Chains A and B, each alone.
Chain A
Amino acid sequence: MNEGEPEIVKFLRDEERLGKLHSKLQSSYKELEILDKPLENVSDDMVNVISDTGRKTRYSELDGLEEKYKTIFENSAVAITLTDKNERIILWNKYTEDLLGMNKDDLYMKPVELLYPPEEWRRIRSENVRQKGMQHHLETKMVRKNNELIDVDISLSVLKNHKGRVIGSVGVIRDITQRKMMELELQIAYEKLEQRVKERTAEILKSNELLKQEINERKKVEWSLKIKDSAIESSINAIVFVDPTGAVTYVNPSFLNMWGYDSEKEILGKSAVKFWHKKELYMEVMEATFNKGGWVGELVAEKSDGALFDTQLSANAVKDEEKNPICMMASFIDITARKKIEEKFRKSQMRIEQQNIQLKKLDKLKSNFLNITSHEIRTPMCSMKGYVQMLLKKTLGDVTEEQKRGLMVILRNVDRLDNLIRDILDISRLESGTMKFITEITDINKMIGEVAETMRLSADLKHVQIDEEMEDKLPELVIDQERIKQVLINIVNNAIKFSPDGTVIIIRAKKEEENVLFEVQDFGRGIPGDKQKKIFETFYQVDYSMDRTFGGAGLGLAISRGIVLAHGGSIWVESKLGKGSTFGFTLPVKSVKDVEGRFREVDVFMVETDSEEKENNLRMGEYINNEEWVRENE
């Protein structure tokens, strides 16, 4: 027996009492309108109970009790139904009718099964079996008269007689539809709440995320501001912040350093004009910055001790969100050092200019000098040579053999001197870039032929043969024929010099890609490897003794090299000691555009014939060796 059970249920468990009640009720059947059918199906046990004679005496006892219980039964806010052991409804209270919307006809002796939806009934049944008659309760649904389903809470217990045999069961039913609805509503509300909570949580999380991002952004901005801050603070440039009234609001350490102040306290709040040398310029800068956005330029600044120094200023306006200038940021670089360098540079530029002018003058002088020298030296030789030749020709009378020999020596030496001077002038001109080339279209085959012919005269003296090996139709070259001949003659001369008697010299010429290749091969003693490049140097002689005998100052190959290079070619020697040498040079087929241009022109007509100038130039010869002049023009 459970606590909290309705009284009626407790009562109904008391079989004796129930039996008694039943008897009493039975006797009242005729009076009560509930029953209009005879109790055909009343169980045997019930009959036994009814026929129990001892019952009469109990009836009066039961009357009061019955009244009591009837009241409870009828006025109960729960539905109570009794069923017999065949599960047919035999008794119920008013509430049951209300609950189910049914009347006596719907209920009396009807299978209680009808009150339940089929699947629920199955459940009830199995539960019953499981409980083995023990009182139990469960939640289920019932079917109202109008087929509407209601949710109920049923407490079921079996009724047993005094002998312990099941005589029926009683069910106490509570309409929990409301409750169920409320439960459902609650559930829905709960779910809604959960949903809302979820949503809200999600919102919050999102919000959180955004907040985090914002914080990150802020942090970044803070960082960059910090970096900028420290950049300004640590900048080598002096940085000043000035408000629109002209008062200094911030200076960085470099400023203190540059202007010679010990602490910012001396500066903050003071007018910035104090640090400028010129007040007007300061006003100009302020105006330009606050009205036009900035100012760049040089200005003279004034240190704490009054000393002035040059600065480069870059000022700009710091603006707020509405683009209004709120203060000026001025950045200074001390350009004192730079200005010094600029000055130095300017001075050195001027010096270079002057030197250039001097050099040009010198060049012209040199060029003139060479021309004069050339003329002045050659002229006396004319007379010398002329007279000697005339004497030898006996134009001025007879000459003895001895005299003749003497004259020939003079003539030979005049020639030697002439050649030497010519060489010196040539090398001078080549080195100073003043050699004049006269270019013309040249038949190479013919040119080589002429050279060979000329050289055979001296070659024959040593019984040296000169052979020509030329390709048939060599291209015509635009060259200074005279000078190229000079090169060939020089090389062949050397070859003859170093060829033993009876040997041969071969002059070759052939076209090789974009050049014409010239070669002069001898079978003399050859040139040692370490000297092969040096022989092209000015004044270099492989064999001093030999060269002195034959004349020459070691300039021939240097001049040849100069001429070949001026034509855009190259010159070299291949030699093996004891086997001989092959001198080679190339000349490009396409003439170097400006052979004359490569070396500045010497215009014959321009050479001064003005006596004054000539006189000056003669004196110039003295000058050039004059140390005073040199020092003067440094």
Chain B
Amino acid sequence: MNRIMIVDDEQDLREMINLMMTKEGYETEMAQDGIDFLKKNDNFQPDIVTLDVMMPGLTTKDILEELKDKYNKPKIILLTVVRFSDEEKEKLFKMGNVVDYITKPFDVDELMTTIKDNSVD
């Protein structure tokens, strides 16, 4: 069973993805910001994380930095409004853990495919 953590400061969106993935048979957990995520990460130990790029509190960079030291290193799918340049993509992906990104608003199917591609099975 795959465990997925949905990190987004938008409640509606959080719950939507949560619902979607639950229907798909994933074990889900939600977090509302970076700190919340890092806390829950140790406990829940997700395999995949959908991470909203623009959240209050810790910046994405900080979150990814923190993750490096953690025992549990889930695969991160970034949900972003902006496009990344190749340079930024490289930077992100180098930080380890980031496997892909999806632009908002996304197709449900698109998100699903990406998550599934990175799931263990």
Residues on A lying within 8 angstroms of B by beta carbon are 371, 374-375, 378-387, 389-390, 393, 395-396, 414, 418, 436, 438-440, 482, 596, 602, 604-605, 607, 609-611, 614
Contacts and interface: CB of A to CB of B under 8 A. Distances in A.
Nearest to B24: A395
Contacts of B54: 375, 607, 609
A149 B88 CA distance: 137
Given A383-B12, A438-B83, A389 B55 contact: no
B58 A378 contact: no
Interface string B104-121: 111111000000000000
B16 A378 contact: no
A386 B108 contact: yes
A379 B10 contact: yes
Contact of A393 (B55, B60, B82, B108): B108
Given A379-B13, A438-B83, A605 B61 contact: yes
A103 to B, nearest CB: 150
A438 B90 CA distance: 13
B10 A385 contact: no
Nearest to A417: B105
Given A383-B12, A386-B13, A438-B86, A418 B61 contact: no
A379 B56 CA distance: 14
B93 interface: no
B105 A385 contact: yes
B23 to A, nearest CB: 5
A386 B80 CA distance: 15
Interface string B85-100: 1101000000000000
A418 B20 contact: no
B13 A383 contact: yes
16 contacts: A375-B81, A379-B81, A382-B16, A382-B104, A386-B13, A393-B108, A395-B23, A436-B83, A438-B83, A604-B84, A605-B59, A605-B88, A609-B57, A609-B58, A610-B56, A611-B57
A465 to B, nearest CB: 28
B105 A390 contact: no
Q: Which of B85, B86, B88 has the most CB of A within 10 A?
A: B85
A403 to B, nearest CB: 17
Contacts of B81: 374-375, 378-379
B49 interface: no
B89 to A, nearest CB: 9
B53 interface: yes
Contact of B60 (A378, A385, A605): A605
Q: Which 10 A-B pairs have the closest CB atoms?
A: A611-B56, A389-B108, A383-B12, A438-B85, A382-B105, A381-B105, A386-B16, A609-B59, A375-B81, A385-B105
Contacts of A440: 86
Given A605-B59, A609-B60, 18 more contacts: A378-B104, A381-B105, A383-B13, A385-B107, A386-B20, A386-B105, A386-B108, A389-B107, A390-B108, A395-B23, A418-B105, A436-B82, A436-B83, A604-B53, A604-B84, A605-B61, A605-B88, A607-B54
B17 interface: yes
Contacts of B107: 385, 389
Interface string B1-41: 00000000010110011011001000000000010000000
B13 A389 contact: no
Nearest to A483: B83
Contacts of B85: 436, 438-439, 596
A438 B84 contact: yes
Contacts of A602: 82
Nearest to A382: B105
Nearest to B103: A378
Given A374-B82, A438-B86, A607-B54, A382 B20 contact: no
B66 to A, nearest CB: 14
B64 to A, nearest CB: 11
Q: Which of A378, A418, A440, A609 has the most CB of B within 10 A?
A: A609
A614 B16 contact: no
Q: Which of B16, B23, B81 has the most CB of A within 10 A?
A: B81
Nearest to B61: A605
B13 A382 contact: yes
A390 B12 CA distance: 14
Contacts of A384: 105
Contacts of B17: 386
A393 B20 CA distance: 11
Contacts of A482: 83
B62 to A, nearest CB: 8
Contacts of B53: 604
Nearest to B60: A605
A418 B81 CA distance: 12
A395 B108 CA distance: 11
Interface string B41-58: 000000000000111111
B10 A609 contact: no
A440 B60 CA distance: 25
Contacts of A418: 105
Nearest to A596: B85
A501 B36 CA distance: 56
Q: Which of A384, A418, A605 has the most CB of B within 10 A?
A: A605
A382 B82 CA distance: 14
A379 B104 contact: yes
Contacts of A382: 10, 13, 16, 104-106
Nearest to A609: B59
Contacts of A439: 85
Nearest to A418: B105
B19 A390 contact: yes
Q: Which of B10, B19, B82, B86 has the most CB of A within 10 A?
A: B82
A414 B20 CA distance: 19
Contacts of B23: 390, 395-396
B13 A604 contact: no
A605 B13 CA distance: 22
A389 B109 CA distance: 8
B10 A383 contact: yes
